[in-house]
Amino acid sequence: MPEPAAEPSATPSGLGVRDVGTLLEALPYIRQFRERTIVIKYGGAAMTDPELREEFARDIALLKYVGVNVVVVHGGGPAITEYMERLNLPVEFRGGLRVSDEQTVEVAKMVLIGKVNKDIVVRIGRHGQPAVGLSGDDGNLFRVETTTGPGGEDVGFVGRVTRVDTGVIDHVAEDFVPVIASVGSDEAGRSHNVNADEAAAAVARATGATRLIFLTDVAGWLRDPADPDSLIVQAGTDEVEQALDGISGGMRPKLQACVDAVHSGVGAASIVDGRKPHSVLLELFTDDGCGTQIRPAR
């Protein structure tokens, strides 16, 4: 069979005009985000599929390479649940937060810091940008306070981030990509489990980030959670606040985190589909973006 004819406008490298167009479209955004801080919350499906994990690491390496001060904050809820079940420990969520006794916090720390964090660090490093793993305890990064669920439910040792000391992030980010696991301690040194969406918003706020991006396992904020085509492409913080009471599951802490971040000066917060390869790059470097973007109220 004859070889398919090359696109008439293809260059000797095989790149077509359309690909060059994508690069040109990205250029003003690369310029806009150069030397700016962008916080990426990593979790959900993008973290469970090995191929997507690799693509994510490559995208983060690329961002650092083009001069973006990229900071990764990660969760790993499904991995914690898997280990809890292996250890025959009960798994319970209230208001989107894991009910965490002392043993649960211990498992969360082992899984997030020991396993998930190191996996991300190794992958980004293999793509040419050395990364450094941190938790809320490193360099006194987070101070937390015991919190309750959204309806005042007792959830045990779950922490609300009350202070972020960005010193360690600033030092690390000079040469490395900081990768932060969402655990921290209170004033008395007691370890707490922290919802990673909330940790990401706290980091974005404290670092004065230009953008905060959440990767998740749906297309974004859906008007109807059962209808994947009902994506809300853009919303003001006021619209999110009006809708919050009616939103269930993990989308609630995510949208709350978007609102908190934008209220505290982050330019925009986005929720993008982590099942789609390169969703972070599409959101940052294309005119159409990808997923839901939350902006200050008009």
Ligand X SMILES: Nc1ncnc2c1ncn2[C@@H]1O[C@H](COP(=O)(O)OP(=O)(O)O)[C@@H](O)[C@H]1O
Residues comprising the binding site for substrate?
Answer: 76-77, 98, 193
Query: Is residue 251 a contact point for ligand X (CB under 6 A)?
Result: yes
Q: How many CB atoms lie within 10 A of CB 39?
A: 30
Q: How many CB atoms lie within 10 A of CB 19?
A: 14
Closest separation in Å from C-beta 27 to ligand X2W: 32
For 255, left (φ over 0), alpha (ψ -120 to 50), or beta?
alpha
Query: Is residue 75 a contact point for ligand X (CB under 6 A)?
Result: yes
Q: Pick between residue 75 and residue 159 the one whose CB is nearest to ligand X.
A: 75
Closest separation in Å from C-beta 65 to ligand X: 26
Q: Pick between residue 153 and residue 175 the one whose CB is nearest to ligand X2W.
A: 153
Closest separation in Å from C-beta 96 to ligand X2W: 7
Under rule CB under 6 A, which residues in 191-230 are in contact with ligand X2W? 193, 195-196
| Contact predicate 176/125, CB 8 Å | no
Query: Is residue 222 a contact point for ligand X (CB under 6 A)?
Result: yes
Residue among 174, 262, 250 nearest 211 (CA): 262
Integer Cα distance of 108 and 214 in angstroms: 20
| Contact predicate 291/283, CB 8 Å | yes
Integer Cα distance of 200 and 255 in angstroms: 12
Query: Is residue 98 a contact point for ligand X2W (CB under 6 A)?
Result: yes
Strands 183-185 and 234-236: unpaired
Query: Is residue 120 a contact point for ligand X (CB under 6 A)?
Result: no
Residues that bind ligand X2W (CB under 6 A): 43-44, 75-77, 80, 97-98, 108, 158, 182, 193, 195-196
Residues that bind ligand X (CB under 6 A): 43-44, 75, 77, 216-218, 221-222, 225, 247-251, 254
